[in-house]
Amino acid sequence: MAGRAEGREGFVLRLRVFYHDKCFDGAASAAVFSRFYRERIRADAEFVYTGLVHRAGALFDEKQFDGDENAIVDFKYSAAPEITWWFDHHESAFLTPADAAHYERTPSSRKFYDPDFKSCTKFLATVAQQRFGFDPSPIGELVEWADVIDGALYSDARTAVEMAQPAMKPSDAYAHIALHKTERVEIDHLEGRITVGLVTPYPPGIPLLIPGEVFNRKIVDYLKFSREFNTQCPGFETDIHGLVEVEEADGQRRYFADCVIV
List the Cα angle 255/218/184 in 5-degree steps: 30
- What is residue 194's predicted lDDT score, i.e. its pLDDT? 92
CATH class given for the domain over 163-260: alpha beta
Number of other residues whose CB lies within 10 A of the CB of residue 66: 12
Residues whose CB is less than 8 angstroms from the CB of residue 140 and which lie 6 or more positions away in sequence, other chains included: none
Per-residue confidence band for 226, with pLDDT thresholds at 50, 70 and 90: confident
Start and end residues for every CATH 3.90.100.10 domain found in the chain? 163-260
Q: E strands of 64-213, at which residues? A: 69-73, 83-88, 111-113, 182-186, 200-202
Instruction: Give the Cα separation of 247 and 48 in Å (integer).
Output: 25
> What's the pLDDT tens digit per position in 27-84?
889 999 999 999 999 999 999 999 998 876 678 999 999 999 999 999 999 999 999 9
Please choose, from the candidates 17, 6, 10, the residue with its C-alpha nearest in 3D space to the C-alpha of residue 233. 17
CA-based diameter of the chain, in Å?
A: 69
Start and end residues for every CATH 3.90.1640.10 domain found in the chain? 2-151
CATH class given for the domain over 2-151: alpha beta
Q: Is the pLDDT confidence value at 233 over 90?
A: no
